[in-house]
Chain A
Amino acid sequence: MSTTDAAEESSSSASTLRRGGRRFGDSLFSVLSIGSGLLIFLTLAAVAIFLTNESVPALLASEELAGFLSNAEPDFSLISYTAPYIFGTILAAALALAMAIPVSLGIALFISHYAPRRMAAGLGYMIDLLAAVPSVVYGLWGGIWLVPKLEPLYTLLNETLGTFPTWPGFVPWVGGEPVVALFAGDPTAPMNNLASASIVLAVMVLPIITAVSREVFLQTPRLQEEAALALGATRFEVVKTVVLPFGRSGVVAASMLGLGRALGETMAVLMILAPGATFSFHILEVGRHQSIAANIASRQAEASGVDMSLLIFTGLVLFVLTFIINAIARWIVARSGVKS
């Protein structure tokens, strides 16, 4: 800026008024633009500062959290309060990803390599529509329509797979109950359990994972694909030997982005899950789990003072968690040189 200013000042011109207007417009624009850039810095700093600031009371008062959230438990602490919700958040997100990733990859492959070229854009738009539906509508649909429909499936899973040990051990450092199987336990009638919430979460993260993977698959070098075909490979073999290896890091990044979304999603969990705070792996049991976000949403109305601080602290934990996940995802994307 300074050099152009100096140059303009040194060259004395007759139309000083016009020149002044021009200079004013230019500096106004650059100030506004750079100001907006700085504002982004300030905003994020403000998010971190205000969240930390508001959670300080909970951090300081961890000895004597007298609020209603402590529930008069003897050994109540920040960690004992937050840990079950972290567990619930991660378990729900992990289950959702386990369901969403294979389906998303299938869709991405379908749109990029299987569907007729003319239809591909329209089909992609259909998937994008999934992302356009507001989360609260997913919650409503999941809570009222889907959950009763899933009941027979859950009963079946519980009766057959529920008796086999599919998940080893338990969580020793927090003293959770021993886990025999993912589908074990005693599921009861309104199936507002973690499995239902995860299914809806999976539907919600599906379009995100699909969108990024599709972009990656479309960038597969055309010549490599054609070379494989020329060697007599079937379409599946082209996908297996060329497309998937090329898109591997992109798929990982897409999954991480989906994970970030699943961790932070509130409404689907809030509206479907009957809350509880245990370290149970019994995903079919009702009233066992809760996620951080849904816990904040359901408790905030009645919370004030130290309780509010406590909730804001859990929000801060969630923020840090998603930040780390997203940072890893971006790093992978940047390293693989794929445009998301």
Chain B
Amino acid sequence: MIDTLLTAFATLMTFQHMAYMLLGVVVGLTIGVIPGLGGIAGLSLLVPFLYGMDPISALGMLIGLVAVIPTSDTFASVLMGIPGSSASQATVLDGFPLAKQGQAARALSAAFISSLFGGIVGAVILTFFVLVARPLILLFGSAELFMLALFGLSMVAVLAGRSLPKGLAAAVIGLLIGSIGAAPATGEFRMIFGTEYLYDGIPLVIIGLGLFAIPEISDLLRKNASIAERNALGSGWFQGLRDWWANLFLSIRCSGFGCLIGAIPGLGGSVVDWIAYGHAVQTSKKNPNFGNGDIRGVIAPESANNAMQGGALLPTMLFGIPGSGSMAVFLGGMVLIGIEPGPSMVGPDLNITYSIIWSLALANIMGAGICMMLAQPISKLTSVPFHYLAPFMIALICFAAFQATRDLSDLVALLVIGVVGILMKRFGWPRPALLIGFVLAPQAETFFYQALQFNGWGFLIRPGVLIIAAMTIASVYFGLKNRVDDTGTSGESVVTSHASRTIQIGFALAMMAFFAVALWDAVAHSFLGAVFPLGVGVVGLVFGLILLVHLWRGQADHPAFFDYEIVGDHVGNSGNSWFWTGPAWIAGLVAATALVGFYISMILFFVAFLRLRAKASWLMTVVLTLAAAALILAMAYMLSLNFPSGWLQGAYDLPWPIR
């Protein structure tokens, strides 16, 4: 045993191994900075180098790549409010408000030290856990996995915002959107309305970008300011480290959670950050300011998401089942190198396993170190006037969105979800609740059906199920006690005008209509295909009705009322432009894409935006447009992808990249 540990350690410390790992880390960081690109893109860049490398170096490179993506994706989450990847969606909630307050460097350094620490805690846990993990992982059957999905859903309680019916209705919207596409039990296609795009459901990246990134961009576009509204930057760097130290135990707990949840195959990594965030909210007693820039809201998810990558290694190596999206890629890489995962990874191949686990820790140190150095200079981006930054952000978001299926439909879906996100933000519907519902819908439905098939209703009294049920109830209890509000200005009563009340009721009615459509669609399906959307839809209708009663009869200061156009901090400032400015520009880009394809429309969009909106000089316009065109082209070239095409491409045969 000691022998194995030492051999693994020795191979790890060679110069060659370190050099390859650094290469992987640098590629991973670069990929992670670009929103929407993750391990999959990184692997396609590195694969050509994998041949002929010795397995340990090749593994080091792959691990370097996979480990640091949840580190550097924090840049986009904190600085721009764009969830860099599904692993750092929760970071946006408090990270971005901090950036807006001019504390980007503080948020970033706290995030990076948490990431580093999470990665190391993950590796330490794994070192011991890997030997006994196999039987433990097998304890989690479909019944327990269903309960874990419910536990994840219980985080809705903490994120429901100031009006509980509104929060639950939002979660139901998420659950219903998540049920679009093939039903797990029968393969029936639900709510596809004859659209081929909807057969596969809506991709998570589009929901994340639409709900969080687009509303922020559209908000900023109206204000004509830079992201950092107050004193630019300041010296928050050391403050972030001190913040982390002050919340060391929170960071440890969240790392542990992250590692364990990552280790359970089937749950997926996308909820880890929300569970950690919810946990931070439930357990923070001192001056909670979540949703408006509480540093604990950054530390918790960032500690968890790096530790999660470590945990996700376990099912990948022991069972050959990827524990997360990037682990699927890692698995593909392992096969290319010639390592087939399986029980031998804790037998004869234990030294490989240990070198993988410790490479992970090392890569986290390298990655976080590099990011910390970059934090201060990169956070200066937040003081750039937003109208110069905006076209880049819009182009990047669209680029990220069409990674999903590389089709115009991705952009249309992004726009639609974006509009929903904008309205939800305006009327105080909690977007995180929707997202959690969306992520967990397939898990909840699939595992419930499987548990019933395997165990009958008896699954409810399995010991594991009862334990997780108790945790869920506790989570709901503490969640309701410490509810958080991502709409800003918490606690104050909000007085709404009569006109605003009417449109709030209008939006709630629109959501009710969506529930009705889901129910109407469900009725046409077989029992197994219909039961989930039916049940969920009815719950949605009930809470929607309660909300409507609140909105209809409630006093003007009832918590159900919220309109950012009345209480937002921009109200009363001069120079606010039209509410729909942001979506209108994006819609223009999408429409142009339908006509002439993405690459040409992106260039046109840049010129139009910079001249008309930013009022930039021709020189500036040309320079920025060229820079963006080159950047996007370089990324597309490296990833060998074709841009979404439009009518023009259908009619004429054009060369790449405008094909």
Same complex: no
> Residues on A close to B: CB < 8 A?
none
